[in-house]
């Protein structure tokens, strides 16, 4: 279902974003029927192809006992992804993989609802052994074995309750991209940046890659505001740029951090030369500087930019856990950016969280599309409470549009941090309002019928 055409801004590569979702609901029969909802995000054309792939994969669930599937979600994930004929059209990438993500996410949603817990709480309450059994390990044991994962999780077990209490109280750190889209006027950039600072955010991201002079001008406008104490919320003194959380992030005098995102627009040499020219705006990292599956290209860019104090981040278009494995093994990234729908659901996300924790790389998930913010707060909470044990250097992307379509929308507190999902009925937080589906489902939703009439 296409939900909104993003007309007010854009990115260097994806210039025509029609925010869309391939959405699935699965049901059980019997005396106590269960339901699970899942989705994957697209930007328009091709959404119908993903829906067809979801339907084919979901057919495999017919006749299965959900309790058997829940016993080992890692084995369930492996079974769902191992159909030899369907796998051929991946394998484990592209349309078939993101379709598998929607189905796997729906199963996890059903599992959490059956237990009466939000998804993150379901997972962090698992024992280390149960969490390992819920994880996809095929093809990554050269980076982390099941025994290593078990030892890592056991080491974090003791502090889980304390970390859960802390994050419930203060929220999970967020960053905002609201002012950073290409195509905004300078006045709009300044206004939106001031609003974001006043809302408590201190990490900001802007899109780059169309024109270096324009990027410098826009970046300096943002910097002039986020580095100026006069725009801070009343009573706030900002943050110490020298504290541990901000070291290596090129934080300004108020402790504000700027990141930049090219959305894959450059070849490797272009990326290096272009980003060097943006050094005056002091970015923490360049996100997606080149093709998302070019591991050695990212490694070369990171090596070349390190003397300039600029890191490298990627992951929203990383096909699968094996790409993340190689990015980490090649020391190609400073920040790991998982996507809740590009990866094939929670079980594969868990494998990336475990690898990133072993390699000591912070996970800052991508959340730029419809439903992604609702999803990824659960994943970041799992990472902090059960896996990495830290949120000091982590920030989770937040965008302020399209949350109205969900029964359990995410929210931000006055400090610019995500609130912790706490409704025991919400599962993975992705259930849509029936009215949104009735209005926007393609091609027979009321919005589209009306549009055709015009």
How confident is the model over 21-47, as pLDDT tens digits? Answer: 999 999 999 888 999 999 998 988 899
CA distance 293 to 285: 18
Residue 419: cis peptide before it, omega within 30 degrees of 0: no
CA distance 16 to 43: 8
Is the pLDDT at 284 greater than 70? The verdict is yes
In which band, very low, low, confident or very high, does the pLDDT at 448 lie, cut at 50, 70 and 90? confident
Q: Which residue has the tokens 């390992």?
A: 132
Whole-structure pTM over 0.85, yes or no? yes
Contacts of 93 (CB under 8 A, 6+ apart): 319, 320
CA distance 412 to 159: 25
For residue 397, what is the enclosing H or E element? strand 396-398
**Contact present, 268 and 294 (Cβ < 8 Å):** yes
Residue 88: cis peptide before it, omega within 30 degrees of 0: no
Q: CB atoms < 10 A from the CB of 175, how many? A: 22
Q: Distance of CA 127 to CAs 109, 151, 308, 312, 407, Å? A: 19, 12, 43, 34, 30
Q: Where are the extended beta strands (E) located within 15-92?
A: 18-27, 35-42
Kindly name the residue from 298, 366, 378, 405 that is annotated as catalytic: 366
Look up 207 and say whether it is catalytic. Answer: yes
**What average pLDDT score do residues 42-56 get?**
93
**Contact present, 134 and 73 (Cβ < 8 Å):** yes
Q: Where are the extended beta strands (E) located within 140-215?
A: 172-176, 203-207
Strands of 35-42's sheet, edge to edge?
2-5, 18-27, 35-42
- Phi, psi (deg, nearest 5) at residue 448: -75, -35
Nearest alpha-carbon partner for 401 in 219, 193, 177, 191 = 177
Is the pLDDT at 454 greater than 60? The verdict is no
Q: What is the DSSP letter of 36?
A: E
- Tell me the percentage of the chain whose pLDDT exceeds 70: 96
214-259 per-position pLDDT tens digit = 999 999 999 999 999 999 999 898 999 999 999 999 999 999 999 9
CA distance 295 to 324: 9
Query: What does the mean pLDDT of the chain come to?
Result: 94
CA distance 266 to 274: 9
In which band, very low, low, confident or very high, does the pLDDT at 7 lie, cut at 50, 70 and 90? very low
Provide the pLDDT for residue 15.
52
Kindly name the residue from 117, 121, 203, 207 that is annotated as catalytic: 207
CA distance 52 to 344: 16
In which band, very low, low, confident or very high, does the pLDDT at 6 lie, cut at 50, 70 and 90? very low
- Phi, psi (deg, nearest 5) at residue 162: -65, -45
Provide the pLDDT for residue 16.
55
Strand partners, 176: 204, 398
22: three-class secondary structure by DSSP: strand
Look up 401 and say whether it is catalytic. Answer: no
CA distance 377 to 367: 9
Task: Give the burial class of 437: count Cβ atoms within 10 A of its Cβ; 0-12 exposed, 13-18 middle, 19 or more buried.
Answer: middle
Sign of CA dihedral 153, 388, 418, 433: negative
Q: Which residue has the tokens 């093994």?
A: 329
Q: CB atoms < 10 A from the CB of 372, how many? A: 27
Nearest alpha-carbon partner for 152 in 395, 351, 391 = 351
**What average pLDDT score do residues 74-91 get?**
94
Q: Distance of CA 331 to CAs 70, 109, 248, 360, 393, Å? A: 35, 34, 16, 11, 18
CA distance 185 to 183: 7
Is the pLDDT at 13 greater than 60? The verdict is no
Record the tokens describing residue 416, joined without a space. 């610019």
Task: Give the burial class of 149: count Cβ atoms within 10 A of its Cβ; 0-12 exposed, 13-18 middle, 19 or more buried.
Answer: buried
317-333 per-position pLDDT tens digit = 999 999 999 999 999 99
- Phi, psi (deg, nearest 5) at residue 261: -140, 120
Provide the pLDDT for residue 9.
52
């Amino acid at each position: 279902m296409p939900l909104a055409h993003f007309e007010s801004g854009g990115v260097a590569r994806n210039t025509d974003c029609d925010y869309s979702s391939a959405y699935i609901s699965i049901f059980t029969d019997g005396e106590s029927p269960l339901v699970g909802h899942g989705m994957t995000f697209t930007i328009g054309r091709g959404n119908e192809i993903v829906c067809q792939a979801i339907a084919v994969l979901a057919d495999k669930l017919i006749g299965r006992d959900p309790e058997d599937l829940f016993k080992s979600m890692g084995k369930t994930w492996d079974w769902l992804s191992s159909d030899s004929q369907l796998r051929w059209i991946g394998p484990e990438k592209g349309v078939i993989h993101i379709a598998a993500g929607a189905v796997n996410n729906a199963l996890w949603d059903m599992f959490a609802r059956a237990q009466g817990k939000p998804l993150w709480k379901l997972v962090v309450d698992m024992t280390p052994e149960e969490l390992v059994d819920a994880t996809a390990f095929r093809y990554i044991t050269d980076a982390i074995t099941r025994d290593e994962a078990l030892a890592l999780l056991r080491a974090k077990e003791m502090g889980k309750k304390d970390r859960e209490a802390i994050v419930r109280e203060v929220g999970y750190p967020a960053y905002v991209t609201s002012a950073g889209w290409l195509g905004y006027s300078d006045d709009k950039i300044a206004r939106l940046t001031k609003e974001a600072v006043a809302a408590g955010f201190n990490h900001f991201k802007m899109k780059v890659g169309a024109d270096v002079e324009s990027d410098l001008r826009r970046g300096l406008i943002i910097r002039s505001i986020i580095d100026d104490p006069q725009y801070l919320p009343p009573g706030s003194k900002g943050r110490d740029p020298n504290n541990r959380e901000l070291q290596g992030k090129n934080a300004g005098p108020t402790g504000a951090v700027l990141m930049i995102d090219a959305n894959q627009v450059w070849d490797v040499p272009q990326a290096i030369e272009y980003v060097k020219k943006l050094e005056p705006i002091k970015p923490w990292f360049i996100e997606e500087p080149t093709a998302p599956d070019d591991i050695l290209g990212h490694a070369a860019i990171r090596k070349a930019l390190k003397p300039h104090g600029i890191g490298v981040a990627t992951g929203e278009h990383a096909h699968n856990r094996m790409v993340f494995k190689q990015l980490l093994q090649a020391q190609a990234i400073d920040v790991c950016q998982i996507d809740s729908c590009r990866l094939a659901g929670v079980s594969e996300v868990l494998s990336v969280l475990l690898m990133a924790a072993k390699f000591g790389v912070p996970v800052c998930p991508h959340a730029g599309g419809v439903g992604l913010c609702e999803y990824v707060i659960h994943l970041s909470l799992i990472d902090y409470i059960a896996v990495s044990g830290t949120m000091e250097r982590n920030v989770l992307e937040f965008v302020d549009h399209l949350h109205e379509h969900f029964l359990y929308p995410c929210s931000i507190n006055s400090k610019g941090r995500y609130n912790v999902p706490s409704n025991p009925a919400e599962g993975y937080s992705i259930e849509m309002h029936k009215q949104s589906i009735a209005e926007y489902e393609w091609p027979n939703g009321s919005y589209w019928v009306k549009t055709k009439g015009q």
